[in-house]
Homo-oligomer: A and B are copies of this chain.
Amino acid sequence: METTKDRILNATAELFRRYGYTGTGMKQIVAQAEAPFGSIYHFFPDGKEQLGRDVIRRSGEMYRDLFETIVAAAPDVLTGVQDFFTGAAEVLRQSDYADACPIATVALEVASTSEPLREATADVFESWIAAGAARFAAAGVPRSQARELAIQLIAVLEGAFILCRATRTTEAMDVACAHTLASLRSALPAISTTA
């Protein structure tokens, strides 16, 4: 079953994606979570900053898992990465360009105002980089190049989210996908042409 705490975490994550950290109010959160106001301070005694930190970490894990799942389900890493970008573009369109990355907006907002929150976003990005690098390395890309590719993928994905939300088109995501696939292809070992 879904606990009150989970509803609060999920509501906060959703609101952060659309309105950011400072743009999301505590009252707005409990309203969306259909929870009484006191619950938020019962489960998160240190208030908004603690809630924000937990949401950042949880969202970071969820999206890393999503990446892993999509890539694991694909026949090869190239197709997996393509599916990931295609999925991101699809979510943007279906949500009327509201739902992008749950970390990016908060990361930019809190980088100069809250050291605990900044660290939480840094940890998330580092874990994403490690996960991507491991995947690419497993596919045969040399270690140092694998890390660079992962950083490049995350950077262009996040940048594309910004451009797509602003322009309300998926053009940037499509471009990001094509360029990332090209970079990855040239970094992979020569394909064994079966049949």
Binding site for B on A (CB under 8 A): 18-20, 22-23, 97-98, 100, 104-105, 107-109, 111-113, 118, 121-122, 125-126, 148, 151-152, 154-163, 165-168, 171-172, 175-176, 178-179, 182-183
- Contact of B155 with A20 in the complex, beta carbons under 8 Å: no
Query: Is the CB–CB distance between B152 and A179 below 8 Å?
Result: yes
Q: Is B163's CB under 8 angstroms from A151's CB? A: yes
A149 CB, min distance to chain B CBs, angstroms: 9
Contacts A23-B22, A107-B166, A166-B111; A155 near B126 (Cβ below 8 A): no
Interfacial chain B residues near A176, Cβ < 8 Å: 152, 155
A59 to chain B, nearest CB (A): 14
